[in-house]
Amino acid sequence: MTPEQTRLALVVAMLACSGLLLVYPVEPSMTSEMLFDDEVDKRIKAESVAETTRSQLTLRIRHDDGGRITDDLSRVQDLMQLEQDAMGGSNPDTAWDDENNWIERMETPFKRWSEAFASRNRSLANASHFQEVLEPEIPNGWCGNNSTDAEQAAFEATLLMLPEDTILNIACPAFAGTLAILAPAANEVLWMVWMESDEENPDWSSLSRWAEKVSDSTDYEVSAVGMNMLFAKSKDIAQHDLTVFMLPAILVLTAILAIGLRDAVAAGATLGGILLVLGTELGVLSALGFKFSILDGIAIPIIMGVAVDGAFWYCRSSRDRDEVRQMLFLAMVTTVAAVSLALFSSIRAHRTLAMVMIIGIILDWVVTRYLLEGIYLRRRLKLELGLESKSLPSHQSMSWCWPIALVLLASIAVIAPPGVEIFDIDQLLPEDDPGIAELEDLQSRYVLASSTIAWVIVDVDGNSTAHLQQVRDLQRQLGQHPSVISFDTGMFRTPMVIGVSNDDGDLTEPTIDQVSEMSEGSILIDDARLQRDGVTTGVAITVLIDGQNAAAALRFSDDVVELLDENELQGYVGGDMPVGAGLARTFEAGRVSQILSAGVVIFLVSLVVLRSPLRAARIAVGTIAIGGAVDGMASLFGGRGVTTAPAVLLGMGFAADYLAHATAEHPPTRMDTYARWLAALTSVSIFAMIAFADFPPAMNTGQLLTASILFSVILATCLSFKQLQSPHHDSEE
């Protein structure tokens, strides 16, 4: 094939790949599962016997007048009807109307209350007033030793889904000021909802839409709240930012290209190449079933920034074609080498973002080298008459700029505060977002909202009586941990540890399978068993721990591992907070070694391409200095964390890019300096714009990449000054 035919085939192939977006549109998601891997959670979802194991969502319900709900029978019955409508009712004002997403399971306090009354042959739904179900009196209520299983479940539901200032009454009359002949008294309640979908991840925002519809058509204010809904909200914020900033970014990019290149054709070709790269990558990945996190959208401005380098170096520098080819190839491989370390991260979001960036950076190079190079060179011929290729003014002191710049960058890393922030929802929402204040209010009022679920998986034989006793002993020991949420009546203490039931019934030699089949389970999970091919191989114990203390979650995880060893049990600990806290600790322990490892990889790659140990060492040392400085800036800007970590490696990649240009044994000219700074200005203009985003990860990345580009271009310029004193330069003068 001729070069023209090759270029045409490449364009057609990339256009076809871009066209895949029409059939396979990108649908990014935002859940904790997209951020990090939890092997415990994966096993539970694969092997659990429970009805559903997806993360639960939460609805908060109040009456429009702000009055009592739970001890007003007519309002209780209204909400019981609303529950039925949500699960499949025919009333268009309150029925669920999303065909692609649906409510698989719903837990409400009134559902459990109804079952508790039914266990004593009393009907809450058919009662005309509360005394019909509250009398004759149940002296010890639902928390007594003689309570039925349904009553104990109603007590648990009351604790979890009613505010902490609730007057418990029938739920637990052991409290002072409560009566067994009265219903629990509260002015709001929570409902727990589990959603399913035809897709892998349900659209949680559909629950918000249903809640708004119900609020508009009834006397009740229904709102979707809680941690998982804030994840959905962060996704909406990120998508809004992407929509708002994409057009201005393209316009700014076009303007700088047109001004910097002074050629509309070259600028248009560059912009077209960028769009072709983005369309090709997104189309292919989406068609292959790649699950995009909303964080992966951060790669788009990065790919756009990298793509412009070739235009300026081909059109505006003094380097010939072969020199530019080597520079751009070296820049590509060193940038990919730096970013590729994130592919081995224990954090899933880092791996997916790295892969999207790597593919985009490689496609940028392919398009520049094989599609646009000819256009740039032809446009360059028309510009050469007006270009100056004079070398920069030379002075001996300029060679000291390189070591001084390295020292200044190292000082940023030294003075930066140590430590890594534990991942939480605050890192995904703006500081003034009302959802954070609402979550804090929920956490102050509800046991359910103030806690987070930690999972403890134990490998057991479902037919073993001995294993049943070991699991029960473990559950009792877990309940004694200070991080576990407990409900203390003053007479007895109930730890929120939910696993295998302690009720053996009439069994003489009970096993886990027998006890689990007898038990109705918990409102959080109805069966703790894990099975493979119908054989019980483990149990999943649900533990509610303090959701506002990440350090305590980490201690809980460590202590449980020791406890399992002491009990000679094989098991694992999971859950969003324990896993997130553990990853932060791992990241803190390895962040310096990661920067050094990236420097080593860049040195090796540069050595293979350049075959010059000195030049490769300069690139590696410079990238390590930039990595340390960007890591320090992350701490100074607001704190290192899961969402800022990729920017460090990417900053090293940009440093490798610019240093690869500057390390060539070629005295710097005005044209070269002009090309370098124009490329940097173009990237900075995009990243500086992203720094004003509402989505914190995008904002942090924009700030850090703006700093890294400025650091990199200054350091590269300082490195290029060393060539001013080279013998080659002296002979030219």
For the chain, give the percent of residues with pLDDT over 90.
23
pLDDT recorded at residue 53: 54
> How far is it, in rounded angstroms, from Cα 669 to Cα 576?
54
Whether pLDDT at 200 is above 70: no
Question: In this structure, is residue 394 part of a structural domain?
Answer: yes
Does the pLDDT at position 611 exceed 50?
Answer: yes
Q: Are residues 552 and 694 in the same domain?
A: no
| Average pLDDT of every residue of the chain | 83
pLDDT above 90: residue 69: yes
Q: In this structure, what DSSP letter does residue 56 have?
A: P
Cis peptide before 403 (omega within 30 of 0): no
Q: Cβ distance 197 to 392 under 8 Å?
A: no
Block residue for tokens 């396979």: 24
Same domain membership, residue 166 and residue 65: yes
Strand ranges inside 533-653, DSSP E: 535-546, 571-574
68 and 199 share one domain = yes
Tens of pLDDT, residues 306-334: 888 888 888 887 778 888 888 888 888 88
For residue range 448-491, list pLDDT tens digits in order.
Answer: 776 778 889 999 898 889 999 998 999 899 988 888 887 655 55
Looking at the DSSP bridge assignments, the partners of residue 544 are: 453
Given a contact cutoff of 8 angstroms between Cβ atoms, the answer to whether 36 and 347 are in contact is yes
**More reliable by pLDDT, 32 or 347:** 347
User: In angstroms, how far apart are the furthest CA atoms of the chain?
Assistant: 108
Tens-digit pLDDT profile for residues 214-234: 999 999 999 988 777 777 777
Q: 78 and 143 share a domain?
A: yes
Backbone angles phi, psi at 680, to 5 degrees: -65, -45
pLDDT in tens, 89-134: 778 889 888 888 888 888 899 999 999 999 999 999 999 999 999 9
pLDDT tens readout for residues 689-712: 888 888 888 888 888 889 988 998
Query: What is the rounded CA–CA span in Å between residue 628 and residue 633?
Result: 9
Task: Confirm if 184 and 163 have CB atoms less than 8 A apart.
Answer: no
Among candidate residues 92, 135, 60, 5, the one with its CA nearest the CA of residue 448: 60
Q: What is the pLDDT of residue 175?
A: 81
Q: For 479-563, where are the E strands, in sequence order? A: 486-488, 493-495, 497-498, 529-532, 535-546
Tokens of 219: 């006397």
The pLDDT, as a whole number, for residue 492 is: 56
Q: Domain check: are 601 and 558 in the same one?
A: no
The reported pLDDT for the residue numbered 134 is 93
Q: Look-up: residue for tokens 């029938």?
A: 170
Query: Could you tell me if 418 and 519 lie in one domain?
Result: no
Q: Report the alpha-carbon distance of residue 134 to residue 437 in Å, rounded.
A: 38
Instruction: Give burial (CB, 10 Å; 0-12/13-18/19+) of 448.
Output: buried
Q: Which of 200, 225, 250 is the last residue of a domain?
A: 225
| Residue 545 included in any domain | yes
Which pLDDT belongs to residue 488?
59
Q: What is the pLDDT of residue 241?
A: 82
**348-384 pLDDT tens trace:** 878 888 899 999 999 999 999 999 988 888 877 655 5
Q: Which of 225, 245, 270 is the last residue of a domain?
A: 225
Render the burial of 321-331: b for 16+ CB within 10 Å, e for the rest.
eeebbebbebb
Written as one string, the DSSP assignment of 170-205 is: GG-TTSTT--TTS--B-SEEEEEEEEEESSSS--TH
- For residues 518 and 662, membership in a common domain is answered with no
Please say whether the beta carbons of 228 and 31 come within 8 A. yes
- 237 part of a folded domain: no
Percent of the chain at pLDDT > 70 equals 91
Do 500 and 470 share a domain, yes or no?
yes
- Three-class SS of residue 91? coil
pLDDT of residue 162: 92
- List Cα–Cα distances, 366 to 10, 14, 269, 282, 449, in angstroms: 10, 11, 14, 16, 50
Rg (CA), the chain: 31
Residue 705 within any structural domain of the chain: yes
Q: Average the pLDDT over 581-597 and give the result.
A: 80
DSSP-derived 3-state class of residue 152: helix
Query: Residue 732's pLDDT is what?
Result: 37
**In angstroms, rounded to a whole number, what is the distance separating the alpha carbons of residues 556 and 549?**
11
Query: 139: domain range?
Result: 51-225
- Quote the strand ranges of 510-586, DSSP E: 529-532, 535-546, 571-574
In a domain, 689, yes or no: yes
Does 699 lie in the same domain as 635? yes
pLDDT band at 727 (very low <50, low <70, confident <90, very high): very low
What is the token pair recorded at 198? 């035809």
Answer yes or no: is pLDDT of 14 > 70: yes
pLDDT at position 52 is 58
In a domain, 495, yes or no: yes
Is the pLDDT higher at 444 or at 13?
A: 13
Residues 6+ apart with CB under 8 A from 312: 260, 261, 675, 676, 678, 679, 682
Instruction: Write the pLDDT tens digit of every residue in 515-565.
Output: 888 877 677 777 888 988 889 999 988 888 877 677 788 888 889 999 999
For residue 392, the model assigns a pLDDT of 53
C-alpha dihedral (477, 480, 483, 484), degrees to nearest 10: 80
The DSSP secondary structure of 363-397, one letter per residue, reads HHHHHIIIIIHHHHHHHHHHHGGG---PBPP--GG
Contact 546, 495 (CB under 8 A): no
Q: Rounded to an integer, what is the distance from CA 413 to the centroid of its chain?
A: 26
The string of pLDDT tens digits covering residues 666-679 is: 666 778 778 888 88
Does residue 289 share a domain with residue 321? yes
Q: Does the pLDDT at position 393 exceed 60?
A: no
For residue 691, give both structure tokens: 């720094």
Whether 453 is covered by a domain: the verdict is: no
Digit-coded pLDDT (tens) for 245-293: 878 888 888 888 888 888 888 888 898 999 999 999 999 999 998 888 7
58, 225 contact by CB (below 8 A): yes
The tally of domains found in the chain comes to: 3
Distance of CA 667 to the CA centre of its chain: 46
Half-sphere exposure (Cβ direction) of 228: Cα atoms closer than 13 Å: 23
Instruction: Check whether residue 55 and residue 166 sit in a common domain.
Output: yes
Cβ(680)–Cβ(707) below 8 Å: no
Task: Provide the pLDDT confidence category of residue 76 given band limits of 50, 70 and 90.
Answer: very high
Is residue 231 assigned to a domain?
no
Average pLDDT rounded to a whole number, residues 647-658: 83
What's the CA gap between 246 and 298, in Å, rounded? 11
Alpha carbon of residue 11 to chain centroid: 35
Instruction: Give residue 122's pLDDT.
Output: 93
If asked whether residues 552 and 658 sit together in one domain, one would say no
- pTM as predicted: 0.76
Instruction: For residue 117, report the phi and psi dihedrals to the nearest 5 degrees.
Output: -65, -40
> Looking at residue 730, what is its pLDDT?
38
